[in-house]
Amino acid sequence: MIRSQIPLDHWTKYAIGVLALILLVATGASVAAGDSRQAGAFKWRTASPASQGMDRTKLTAMKDSLAKHHTKAFLVIRNDRIVCEWYQKGHGPDKQHYTASMAKAIVGGVSLAVAMSDGLITMDDKAAKYVPQWKGDPRKSKITIRQLGSHTSGIEDAEADNLPHEKLTGWKGDFWKRPSPPRDPFTLARDAAPVLFEPGTKIQYSNPGIAMLSYCVTASLRKAPYKDIRTLLRERIMRPIGVGDEEWSVGYGRTYAVDGLPLVGSWGGGGYTARAVARVGRLMLREGDWEGRRLISTEAVRQVTRDAGTPGNCGIGWWNNNDGEFPELPKDAFWGSGAGHQVVFVVPSLNLIAVRNGSTLETGINHHEALRINLFRPLVEAVTDVPSAKRDTVSIRPSQEGSTITRDSEYLNRRGPGFRGRPWFTPETWGASSGA
């Protein structure tokens, strides 16, 4: 028999080392499992409307009306309790629905907020910092991240004469057909879409502008652990808030390689379950906190959801009531919205979240007015524990980079030159093919 020549004390040290390694791996697995459990620890619970300060009769009437107006999913959450959840036959809580332009908020706005939280990008950075092709252009060189996200960059939209997207030609047609580079949507938004007016002077809805917002955010991630916004959202937001990978998708399911960047669309092309959208809404309502874990900085959430300080009523991808245009709504209300009236509606002062999916609520009426009549107003009127006279007392000053956010009941939204009233867009601008 051959005996080991290694002294006993060496064997002891070796055994201790192996045991320590096993314990380390086991501990790591336990921590990982603990993180996973923490991510999924928050569970929606149901409650009666009355117990959460809402009128059951009004909510039921609202649900019935929405069901008659092409709704597939309707979810209302108050004080972290589901007080109403309804799905059309064939749909359900585990089924994704297309986002259309609601993606601008829950994909474009949220991914920017994460990058800002990491100090990788700011609202007032020039886009040319991330798009070198724009540095020599007299107008594009002036465009800021704030302007891209608030539809004030001046970049022309990929729309013409109210035509369906499949009938558009030239760069606008290719933007929606989404071919491979060099005719991909990002390259077209960067090089082919013209700037129609001086950046920052007025508002004009722009899908290519949002494409360039995500182009810039992705460029800011070059040295970050996650290089594209899909992975960034999955690892930093969706999994931590307990949304499974099967509950959401973004970017039309594609990634475009342009200038070494893995680009994912955020102007449309998402698919989320209603409950997944509601979790994103809850994260934004809580200003980036999830069960004591800070996922996005408070200031970054405020900058993307509140008045961007530009013409119109935009945050970054999100819309808001900061100027009190809807007197029946609290001024801190904000929402993401898209074609077919896909919407996530958040009112922090009422601790209220609502999600609606389906097809167009009403034709022959502008997009946001239909939401106001069928969703916003009846939903807030169903709240019974907050006097209506107190619902318009909160307003938010525009969020400028590095500013202090304050509340002021006398504040009026700043309107820039060329702005004439609230920029609600025609139903055609929100056409279903823009984000399906």
Contact call for residues 100 and 432 (beta carbons, < 8 A): yes
314 has which bridge partners?
Answer: 319
Residue 208 corresponds to which tokens in the numbers above? 């290519």
Residue (of 297, 301, 313, 289) closest to 398 by Cα position? 313
pLDDT digits (tens, 9 = 90+) for 46-105: 999 999 999 999 999 999 999 999 999 999 999 999 999 999 999 999 999 999 999 999
Please spell the DSSP secondary structure of 366-427, one letter per residue: -HHHHHIIIIIHHHHHTB-SS-GGGTT---B----TTPPP-B-TT------TT--S--PPPG
Query: What's residue 202's pLDDT?
Result: 96
Report, as an integer, the average pLDDT of 111-115.
98
Q: Which CATH superfamily is domain 45-412+423-434 in?
A: DD-peptidase/beta-lactamase superfamily (3.40.710.10)
| pLDDT of res. 387 | 75
According to DSSP, residue 156 is labeled P
Confidence of residue 24 (pLDDT cuts 50, 70, 90): very low
Mean pLDDT of the chain: 85
| Cβ 105 vs Cβ 99: under 8 Å | no
pLDDT band at 416; cut points 50, 70, 90: very low
Whether the predicted pLDDT of 412 surpasses 50: no
Percent of residues, the chain, with pLDDT higher than 70: 80
d(CA 208, CA 320): 21
Gap between the Cα atoms of 424 and 192, Å rounded: 26
Predicted TM-score (pTM) of this structure: 0.83
**pLDDT score of 270 more than 50:** yes
pLDDT band at 134 (very low <50, low <70, confident <90, very high): very high
- According to the model, what pLDDT value does residue 41 have? 83
Q: How far apart are CA 307 and CA 323, in angstroms?
A: 8
Structure confidence at residue 430 as a pLDDT band (50, 70, 90): very low
Q: What per-residue confidence (pLDDT) applies to 386?
A: 84
335 alpha carbon, distance to own chain's centre? 9
Give the pLDDT confidence score for residue 264 in this predicted structure: 98
The SS3 of residue 245 is: helix
Pairing of strands 45-46, 81-87: parallel
Residues 6+ apart with CB under 8 A from 1: none
Q: How far is the C-alpha of 393 from the C-alpha of 331, rounded, in Å?
A: 7
pLDDT digits (tens, 9 = 90+) for 204-226: 999 999 999 999 999 999 999 99
Q: Higher model confidence: residue 79 or residue 6?
A: 79
Write the DSSP string, 51-81.
GGTB-HHHHHHHHHHHHHTTEEEEEEEETTE
pLDDT tens by residue, 367-409:
999 999 999 999 999 999 987 645 554 444 444 433 333 322 2
- Listed in sequence order, the residues at least 6 apart from 280 whose beta carbon sits closer than 8 Å to its beta carbon are 106, 110, 237, 241, 243, 272, 344
Higher local confidence (pLDDT), 423 or 192: 192
Alpha carbon distance 271, 304 (integer Å): 21
pLDDT score of 158: 98
What does the DSSP 8-state code read for residue 329? S
Do 166 and 234 form a contact (C-beta atoms < 8 A)? no
Confidence tier at 10 by pLDDT (50, 70, 90): low
pLDDT at 257: 98
Kindly state the tokens that stand for 227. 């290089």
CB 432 within 8 A of CB 340: yes
CA 155 distance to own-chain centroid: 21
Which residue type sits at 315? Answer: G
| 145 within 8 A of 122, measured Cβ to Cβ | yes
Dump pLDDT digits (tens) for 292-350.
999 999 999 999 999 999 999 899 999 999 999 899 999 999 999 999 999 999 999 99
pLDDT(252) > 70: yes
Residues 6+ apart with CB under 8 A from 170: none
For 80, 158, 174, 244, the CA distances from 37, given in Å and listed in that order, are 19, 44, 44, 13
Percent of the chain with pLDDT over 90: 77
pLDDT one-digit tens code per residue, 149-168:
999 999 999 999 989 999 99
| Tokens coding 391 | 């619902």
Three-class SS of residue 344?
strand
